[in-house]
Amino acid sequence: MSVTQADFRKAMGAFATGVTVITLDSAGDVHGMTANAFTSVSLDPKLILVCVNRRARTHAHLHSKKRFGVNILAEHQHGISEHYARTNRQDGTDVPGARFDRTKHGTPVLHGALAYLECRLHSAQDAGDHTVFIAEVEDVVVRKGRPLLYFSSAYRRIGDGVKRAADPKLGPRLKASARRR
What CATH number is given to the structural domain containing 86?
2.30.110.10
Q: In what order do the strands lie in the sheet with 154-156?
A: 17-18, 149-151, 154-156
Residue 55 burial (CB < 10 Å; 0-12/13-18/19+)? Answer: exposed
In terms of pLDDT, which residue wins out, 142 or 87? Answer: 142
Q: What is the mean predicted confidence (pLDDT) over 136-156?
A: 94
120-135 residues labelled b (16+ CB within 10 A) or e (exposed): ebbebeeeeebbbbbb
The residue-averaged pLDDT of 164-171 equals 65
From residue 2, give the alpha-carbon distance in Å to each of 6, 7, 8, 22, 130. Answer: 11, 10, 10, 33, 21
* 177 confidence band (pLDDT: 50, 70, 90): very low
34 CB-contact burial (10 Å; exposed 0-12 / middle 13-18 / buried 19+): buried
Nearest to 71 by CA among 42, 97, 44, 45: 97
Q: Given pLDDT bands bounded at 50, 70 and 90, which one contains residue 119?
A: very high
- pLDDT above 90 (res 123): yes
Number of domain units in the chain: 1
Spatial CA neighbour of 35 closest among 70, 77, 74, 78 = 70
Domain that holds residue 112: 5-180
Half-sphere exposure of 9 (CA within 13 A, CB side): 4
pTM above 0.75, yes or no: yes
